[in-house]
Amino acid sequence: MDRKNVTIREDQKEWVNEQDINLSQLVQDAIDEAMSPTEDELAAAYQANADHAAETNEEWAAVSTEATQHLGEPPRDE
């Protein structure tokens, strides 16, 4: 880790002290939030979304099958 000096106003210093906040962690979190995600982070997020979509699809398919069993086939427009 690299050390940097950060200048804050007096009122900010008081607030940080009152909140018992780790200023280094606060700054790191703010920088992380401002940074664009890496290609690996995007790929992981897309994969997690695809996994969730597949799970949701399976759950709804089961619900649809159960509804058809109880209610019968839906009417067909011809």
Q: In this structure, are residues 23 and 16 in contact, taking their beta carbons and an 8 Å threshold?
A: yes
Is pLDDT of 43 > 80? yes
Is pLDDT of 6 > 80? yes
Q: In this structure, are residues 8 and 16 in contact, taking their beta carbons and an 8 Å threshold?
A: yes
pTM passes above 0.95: no
pLDDT in tens, 25-34: 999 999 999 9
